[in-house]
Structures are given as C-alpha cells and as structure tokens.
Structure 1
Amino acid sequence: MPPTSETLTAERILAATEEVLRRHGPAKATVVDVARALGVSHGSVYRHFRTKAALREAVTKRWLDRTTQVLAGIAADTGRDPEARVREWLAALFAAKRSKAGDDPELFATYSVLTDGAGEVVGAHITELTDQLTEIVRAGAEAGIFTVTDSATAARALFQATARFHDPGYAKEWQQPGVEGEFEAVVDLLVRGLSA
C-alpha cells in the first residue's frame, strides 16, 4: 500500500468509493478496495464509516445530494414567479436524473442498486425534494397564483405525477425521441391545475 500524504477525510473516502464502485460495481466492490485506492488500511476507512452498509449509504446520499443542491437554488429564488420556478424545478430534476443516467450509465446502474438498499436515505432525499417543491407551491398560493389549500399535498402530487421523468425505474425511456415534448405536456397540464 503506498503511503498517503493527505489527511484521510470522509469526503476523500466517499470520492474513492465512487471510483471503486464505477470500476467494480456494487456486488464486487469492497472496503478493502476503497482502502487500497486511498493507500490506507481498511481499518482507517472503518474509523470513518463503521460498516460497509454505512459507507454505501453515505456514498448514495452524496450522489443524491448533488441533485438536491441544484434544485435548492431554484426553490430558494423567491424573486422569481412561482409558476416559472415550478416549471424550472421540475425541468432541472428531469435534466439532472437524465444526465446521470446518460453520462455515466455504469455508475447510474450501480447507484440504482445501492438506492434499493438505502430506504432511509432515499426516503430522506424524496422528503427534501418535496419540501423544496412545497415551498414553491406555498409561495404561489400566497401570491394568489395557485389555488391550492394544502401546499404539501399539491407538491407531493406534482412530484408523483412527474415520476416518469425522475424515477430511475423509467431511465430507459428518458432518451426516447419525443420525451421532452411529453415532459412539457405533463408539466403544462399540472401547472394549469395549480393555477387560479
């Protein structure tokens, strides 16, 4: 094992884990592989992540958080019209998921396997996303642009109604011809349903 001059941090471990997953896939990647890539003992990795499952959950959360952070900026932009924000937020969610699936299909497939075993992480991710969407819908209701009485319920309905464009189970459809038009038609229908 080559000596490492950098301090071992959780972030370095997660970055190395992602690379190991990309090379070996979730079935064959081990903590020993991650440690080897970092030039440390596997015990050093376990000091940051107590179990292999904890490491997998953390790397899955890191991957999902990339999308959450992009969308948070749209949700927080209170200077813009809520209808435009709903449209942009949904489009950014679709684009982020589509990009992950198309740009690095091997890693996307790996994360699809990992998310199946990370129920709490995925649940928290979905809650965070629907909370962002709730804030946009609430702003629209308060401005009289949307006629909804329960912003959280409306946001969950928007999220669920657009699942075909962000649920990894539909990833094969995201590259089909005409999918952008289908997405826009669904969003138009949903936004009209929110509007006064």
Structure 2
Amino acid sequence: MKTVIINYGAGNIQSIKFALQRLGVEAVLSNDVEEIRKADKVIFPGVGEASSAMKKLRESELDNIIPTLTQPVLGICLGMQLMCKSSEEGNTQGLGIFNTEVVRFSSTVKVPQIGWNTIQNLEGSLFEGIRENEYMYLVHSYYAKKSNEMIAESEYDIKYASALQKDNFYGVQFHPEKSSKAGSKILENFLKL
C-alpha cells in the first residue's frame, strides 16, 4: 500500500510521517501529480494561513487535482479547512469538496484554541474503536460550520464540525498525529479504509 503525504510547503508533514512510521507505514512526501494519483491513500496536511496555503496549491496545480482523487483522502487541520467551500481567513475560496464554510471564532473566546478538546457524535469507520468525548489535540482560530457532512463535533464557544466526510474525502480539524493513542487509532482506521 502506497501512502502519499502531499508536500506543498504548508504542512506539518514530519510529525505525520513519524506517526505513520509508528504504525509501520513508510509514507512518501510528494507534490508530484502522478505520484499522488497513483497512491492508495493520500494525506493532505496543513498548518498556517489559508490564503497563502491556497496560493501554494494553485502554483503546483494541486488545487485542480485534489478534488478529482478517487482514493481515500484525509485532510488534517488547515488541510480540512481548505477542502471546504471558503474560509474567512484571507477571504479564501477553498476546494469546494465539503459544502460548508470556515469562519473565525468569536472575540468572546481566546484564539487560537490550543490544546486538548473532546470530540462527540462520532460517525463512520474513521472513528471505529474511538469512544465518545475522546480528547484530541487542536490548534486553530477558524472552524468549519456544522453541516450534513459532519462526522464529529467539538465545542469551543459554539459547537462546530471537528470532522467531515463526503464520499472518499475525510477531514479532521484536530491533529491525530499529536493526539496520543486515540489519534494513532484514527490514522490506523484511515489506512484501513
């Protein structure tokens, strides 16, 4: 099984690569379109600011490729947010895979949300063996609004989508690679899809 981590200059790719190594998977870091297309599993990470990350995707033409992938794809943190229709951060148009918008937390809470928070209302095979109210590690100032593609939610001032799924596309706002045994189990579940 070939797993590719998309390397477009806006990801926390080393920590994801190490997390996969702990599961016995040697992932390939690549921005090569053909290599990504031929992968069995694709991980789309992201750390940073939405508009500059989207600019990097456009420069490498990955913005056209990612939505056409047919294998399981996992967006992590900003990767998930870029898979949505749009983001308030930098007034960014997203890839439009998930039919929801990304907005900033209100000024009534401290942003970014940094640290551990629970996930609830878990649905689907990505969360097999994960209990309700499991803690995951998050770092974000923007969140995806709840939608019918939501497969997990968290609460920080308001309830928001902490995981999304549409067809072969999955997205998690939290960092499974930094979320201890539960996060490792989610990565393992993704690799089994």
Query: TM-score, normalising length from structure 1?
Result: 0.27
Q: Per residue, is there more helix in 1 or in 2?
A: 1
CA radius of gyration, larger in: 1
Query: TM-score, normalising length from structure 2?
Result: 0.27
Q: Per residue, is there more strand in 1 or in 2?
A: 2
